[in-house]
C-alpha cells in the first residue's frame, strides 16, 4: 500500500531546511526595511509636531543643511504655534503659515509688540521667530514679519496634535475648517497611524486586560467542572448580547451627532455599523449552536478532565503561552515602531527663507506591504513553534512506557528538538497560512476600492471568495496542527507528516471528529469571551476620545490582538487534546495490545 511505518520518538533529522533559509532571507529584507525606516523616518514628528524650520517640538534636534534655525533644543517647547492662526491656508496638504515651537500658548489676547515682549519675559515663551531677540521686538523694523499677526487671539493647547488652538470664535472657526480639510485629505495610512498613536496607552492597557482574561481562563479550564462550563457559556451569551447592543447604540449616537464633520468621524460611523452587523451575526450563530449542543455539556467536562490529567503530568505547559505572549508582544512593539517610522519617512528639503519641508520617499508603500506580510508570517511562525512545543511534550509523555516515571523536562526537551531539527517545518506551515491570508486582505482592499460602483453581483462574488479563502485557512490550520504532531512523532518533513496525518485521521475520523469538534467549540467560546470583554473595555475607553481619531481601527487592532492572545493561551488545551487523540490513533494503528506490541495508552486516562 506504500504506507509509511510509524516510528514514535525513534528517529530525528533536520526537516525543511530550505524553508528555514528562505525565512532567514525574508527577515534580512525586514531588517533592511527597519534600518531604512529608522534612518529616514521620524515617528516623533507625527506624535509631537514640528515647526517650519525642521525642529521637532519637545526634544533636541539635529541641524538641517541650509536651515540656520534648525537643530535647536526644544525640550521645553512642546507646543506648535502658528504666526497667523486666524488666516491659515492649506496648500498640497501642508499649512502655509509659519509655525514655531513654544513652551506655552498665550492665555490672553496680545494686542501689540509690547504685549508679545512682556509675554515672552514673563512666561519664557517666545512667539516670534527664533533669531529675533526679545529686546528687539519693539526695535526691529522687520518685527511685523517675524512676529505673529496682531492681535494674537487667546489660545489653548490641544493635546492630540500639541497645537495652540485659538479660542476666539471667528479665528477658531477658520482654524478648525482648515484643520478639518487637512485631516480629511490626509492619506488613510497616516490617519490610522495618528489614531494608533493617540490611543497608544489605551491599546497597551487593553492588551494587558486581554492577557489577564486569557490567563484566568487557562487556570479555570485546568480545574474544569460542570458549573464552570455553564458559567462560561452564560458569560459568553451576556458578553455577545451586551457588546452588540453597545455597538448599535454607539452607531446611532454617532450617526445622529450633528457635529460629525471630520472624515475620521465618518469612518468611525461606517466601521461601527460594520462591527454592529458582524457582532449581531456572530451572536445569532453562536447562540444557535449553544442551544443545539447544550445536551452534550457533560461530555465536554469529561473531555477537559482527561486533558487536565495530561497537563497535570506536564504542568509547565500552562506557562508556555506566557513566553509565547511575551515574544509576540516584543515582536508587535518592534513591528509598530518600524511601521510608524516607515509612515513618517521623508527627506528634509530647505525652501526659501531657510524653512524645511519633508518630502515623502518613493517605494514606501511597497515596503509597508512587505512589512505587513512580515507581521502575518512571523506571528504565525511564533504560534506554530508553540504548537510544536506542546505537541512534542505530549508525544514524549504518551509514548513513555513507564507512566509512573514521566520523562524529565519534557517541555525543555521539546523546545530543544524544535530548534535543532524542526524550525523549517514550523516556517513552512506558517507560510502556507500566510499565503491564504494575503488574498483575503487583497480582496478586502479591492472591495473597499470598488464598493462605490454599487454592483451587487461583484459584491456577492467578493464575499464568496472571501469566505472561500477563510474556509481554506481554517481547514489548513486544522491539518497543520496534526502535521506538527506527526513531525514530533516521526521526525519527518511537513509534506510527509501532513500526508501521514491525513491518512490516520481519515481512518479514524468517526471516532475523533465529534470529540475534537465539540472540545474546540468550547475553547472557541472561551476566545469569544476574551474578545467580547476586551472590545467592550475598548469601546468605553475610546468613546471618550472622538475628535480627530480613527479609533475604530485601533479597536479592531485590539480585538485582533485579544483573539491572538486568547488563542495562544487556550491552544494549550486544544493542541494537547488534538495531539493526544492523534497519538492514540497511532498507538491503535501500530500496536495490538499483545505482550510483544503492548499499547502505550494509559488506562487511567481512557
Reported as a single tens digit per residue, the pLDDT across 338-362 is 887 887 777 777 887 788 887 766 7
Helix (H, G, I), strand (E, B) or coil at 110: strand
Q: Which of 150-154, 484-488, 585-589, 592-596 has the lowest mean pLDDT?
A: 592-596
How much is the average pLDDT of 103-113? 88
C-alpha span between 579 and 487 (Å, rounded): 11
Residue 542 or residue 443, greater confidence: 443
Residues 227 and 83 in one domain: no
Cβ contacts of 58-67, under 8 Å, gap ≥ 24: 58/101, 58/162, 64/348, 64/350, 64/356, 65/350, 66/350, 66/354, 67/348, 67/350, 67/354, 67/355, 67/356
Task: State how far the alpha carbon of 306 is from the alpha carbons of 80, 225, 396, 399, 569, in Å.
Answer: 63, 12, 17, 17, 18
Residues 211 and 101 in one domain: no
pLDDT of residue 373: 92
Out of 81-90, 108-117, 525-534, 591-600, the most confident range is 108-117
C-alpha span between 123 and 163 (Å, rounded): 18
* 513, part of any domain: yes
Task: State how far the alpha carbon of 404 is from the alpha carbons of 33, 562, 586, 587, in Å.
Answer: 53, 39, 22, 19
Residues 101 and 154 in one domain: yes
Confidence of residue 27 (pLDDT cuts 50, 70, 90): very high
How much is the average pLDDT of 367-376? 90
pLDDT of residue 29: 94
Confidence of residue 551 (pLDDT cuts 50, 70, 90): low
pLDDT(472) > 50: yes
Residues 396 and 443 in one domain: yes
How much is the average pLDDT of 18-36? 94
Residues 125 and 220 in one domain: no
Under DSSP, the state recorded for 551 is T
Residue 554 or residue 501, greater confidence: 501
Cβ atoms of 574 and 523 closer than 8 Å? yes
Residues 536 and 447 in one domain: yes
Confidence of residue 306 (pLDDT cuts 50, 70, 90): confident
Confidence of residue 418 (pLDDT cuts 50, 70, 90): very high
C-alpha span between 463 and 452 (Å, rounded): 16
pLDDT of residue 490: 86
pLDDT, mean over the chain: 78
Of 390, 412, 225, 395, nearest in space to 318 by CA: 390
pLDDT of residue 308: 74
Q: Which of 228-242, 250-264, 530-544 has the lowest mean pLDDT?
A: 250-264
pLDDT(37) > 70: yes
Q: How many CA atoms lie within 13 A of 423 on its CB side?
A: 13
Residues 132 and 231 in one domain: no
* 604, part of any domain: no
Cβ atoms of 429 and 384 closer than 8 Å? yes
Of 337, 340, 334, nearest in space to 46 by CA: 340
pLDDT(605) > 70: no
Residues 108 and 246 in one domain: no
pLDDT of residue 186: 46
How much is the average pLDDT of 125-144? 85
Q: Which of 62-76, 457-471, 492-506 has the lowest mean pLDDT?
A: 457-471
Set of cell numbers at residue 130: 527664533
Residue 176 or residue 492, greater confidence: 492
* 186, part of any domain: no
Cβ atoms of 93 and 182 closer than 8 Å? yes
Residues 120 and 209 in one domain: no
Task: State how far the alpha carbon of 22 is from the alpha carbons of 29, 387, 425, in Å.
Answer: 11, 21, 12
Residues 551 and 446 in one domain: yes
Strand pairing report for 346-350 and 90-91: unpaired
* 240, part of any domain: yes
Of 107, 132, 160, which residue is a domain's last? 160
Residue 221 or residue 28, greater confidence: 28
Residues 282 and 393 in one domain: yes
Residues 284 and 223 in one domain: yes
Of 606, 1, 510, 593, nearest in space to 309 by CA: 606
Confidence of residue 587 (pLDDT cuts 50, 70, 90): confident
pLDDT(2) > 50: no
Prediction pTM value: 0.69
Percent of the chain with pLDDT over 90: 11
* 358, part of any domain: no
Residue 80 or residue 227, greater confidence: 80
* 170, part of any domain: no
Out of 96-100, 301-305, 306-310, 408-412, the most confident range is 408-412
Cβ atoms of 200 and 242 closer than 8 Å? no
Phi, psi dihedral angles at 150 (to 5 degrees): -95, 150
CA geometry: angle at 465 spanning 464 and 467, to 5°?
65
Number of domains in the chain: 2
* 576, part of any domain: yes
Task: State how far the alpha carbon of 272 is from the alpha carbons of 65, 242, 543, in Å.
Answer: 47, 15, 11
Residue 289 or residue 89, greater confidence: 289
Confidence of residue 10 (pLDDT cuts 50, 70, 90): low
pLDDT(185) > 50: no
pLDDT(412) > 70: yes
Q: Which of 86-100, 327-341, 351-365 has the lowest mean pLDDT?
A: 86-100
* 8, part of any domain: no
Q: Which domain holds residue 373?
A: 17-35+197-348+363-590
Amino acid at each position: 500500500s506504500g504506507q509509511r511505518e510509524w516510528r514514535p520518538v525513534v528517529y530525528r533529522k533536520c526537516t525543511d531546511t530550505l524553508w528555514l533559509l528562505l525565512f532567514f532571507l525574508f527577515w534580512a529584507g525586514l531588517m533592511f526595511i527597519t534600518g531604512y525606516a529608522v534612518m529616514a523616518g521620524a515617528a516623533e514628528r507625527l506624535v509631537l509636531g514640528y515647526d517650519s524650520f525642521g525642529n521637532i517640538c519637545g526634544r533636541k534636534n539635529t541641524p538641517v543643511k541650509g536651515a540656520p534655525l534648525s537643530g535647536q533644543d526644544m525640550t521645553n517647547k512642546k507646543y506648535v504655534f502658528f504666526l497667523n492662526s486666524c488666516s491659515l491656508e492649506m496648500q498640497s496638504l501642508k499649512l502655509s503659515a509659519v509655525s514655531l515651537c513654544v513652551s506655552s500658548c498665550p492665555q490672553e489676547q496680545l494686542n501689540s509688540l509690547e504685549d508679545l515682549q512682556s509675554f515672552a519675559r514673563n512666561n519664557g515663551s517666545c512667539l516670534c521667530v527664533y533669531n529675533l531677540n526679545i529686546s528687539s521686538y519693539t526695535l526691529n523694523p522687520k518685527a511685523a514679519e517675524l512676529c505673529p499677526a496682531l492681535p494674537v487671539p487667546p489660545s489653548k493647547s490641544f493635546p492630540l496634535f500639541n497645537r495652540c488652538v485659538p479660542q476666539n470664535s471667528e479665528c477658531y472657526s477658520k482654524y478648525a475648517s482648515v484643520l478639518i480639510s487637512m485631516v480629511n485629505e490626509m492619506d488613510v495610512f497616516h490617519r490610522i497611524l495618528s489614531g494608533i498613536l493617540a490611543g497608544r496607552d489605551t491599546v497597551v492597557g487593553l492588551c494587558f486586560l486581554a492577557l489577564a482574561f486569557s490567563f484566568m481562563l487557562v487556570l479555570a479550564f485546568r480545574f474544569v467542572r460542570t458549573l464552570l462550563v455553564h458559567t462560561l457559556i452564560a458569560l459568553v451569551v451576556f458578553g455577545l448580547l451586551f457588546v452588540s447592543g453597545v455597538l448599535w447604540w454607539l452607531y446611532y449616537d454617532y450617526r445622529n451627532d450633528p457635529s460629525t464633520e471630520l472624515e475620521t468621524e465618518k469612518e468611525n460611523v461606517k466601521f461601527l455599523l460594520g462591527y454592529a452587523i458582524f457582532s449581531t451575526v456572530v451572536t445569532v450563530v453562536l447562540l444557535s449552536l449553544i442551544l443545539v449542543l447544550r445536551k452534550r455539556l457533560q461530555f465536554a467536562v469529561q473531555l477537559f478532565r482527561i486533558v487536565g490529567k495530561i497537563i497535570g503530568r506536564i504542568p509547565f505547559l500552562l506557562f508556555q503561552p506566557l513566553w509565547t505572549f511575551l515574544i509576540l508582544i516584543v515582536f508587535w512593539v518592534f513591528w509598530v515602531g518600524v511601521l510608524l517610522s516607515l509612515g513618517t519617512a521623508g527627506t528634509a528639503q530647505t525652501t526659501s527663507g531657510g524653512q524645511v519641508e519633508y518630502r515623502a520617499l518613493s517605494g514606501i508603500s511597497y515596503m509597508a506591504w512587505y512589512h505587513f506580510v512580515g507581521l502575518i508570517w512571523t506571528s504565525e511562525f511564533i504560534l506554530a513553534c508553540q504548537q510544536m512545543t506542546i505537541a512534542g511534550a505530549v508525544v514524549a509523555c504518551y509514548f513513555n512506557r513507564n507512566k509512573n516515571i514521566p520523562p524529565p523536562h519534557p517541555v525543555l526537551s521539546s523546545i530543544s528538538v524544535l530548534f535543532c531539527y524542526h524550525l523549517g517545518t514550523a516556517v513552512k506551515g506558517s507560510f502556507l497560512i500566510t499565503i491564504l491570508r494575503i488574498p483575503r486582505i487583497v480582496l478586502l482592499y479591492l472591495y473597499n476600492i470598488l464598493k462605490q460602483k454599487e454592483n451587487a453581483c461583484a459584491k456577492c462574488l467578493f464575499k464568496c471568495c472571501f469566505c472561500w479563502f477563510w474556509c481554506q485557512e481554517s481547514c489548513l490550520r486544522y491539518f497543520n496542527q496534526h502535521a506538527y504532531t506527526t513531525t514530533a512523532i516521526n521526525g519527518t518533513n511537513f509534506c510527509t507528516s501532513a500526508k501521514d496525518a491525513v491518512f490516520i485521521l481519515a481512518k479514524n475520523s468517526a471516532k475523533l471528529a465529534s470529540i475534537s469538534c465539540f472540545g474546540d467549540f468550547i475553547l472557541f467560546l472561551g476566545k469569544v469571551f476574551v474578545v467580547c470583554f476586551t472590545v467592550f473595555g475598548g469601546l468605553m475607553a475610546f468613546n471618550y476620545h472622538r475628535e480627530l481619531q480613527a479609533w475604530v481601527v485601533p479597536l479592531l487592532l485590539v480585538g485582533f490582538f485579544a483573539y491572538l492572545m486568547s488563542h495562544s493561551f487556550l491552544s494549550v488545551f486544544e493542541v494537547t487534546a488534538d495531539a493526544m487523540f492523534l497519538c492514540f490513533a497511532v498507538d491503535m494503528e501500530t500496536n495490538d495490545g499483545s505482550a510483544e506490541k503492548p499499547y502505550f495508552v494509559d488506562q487511567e486516562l481512557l
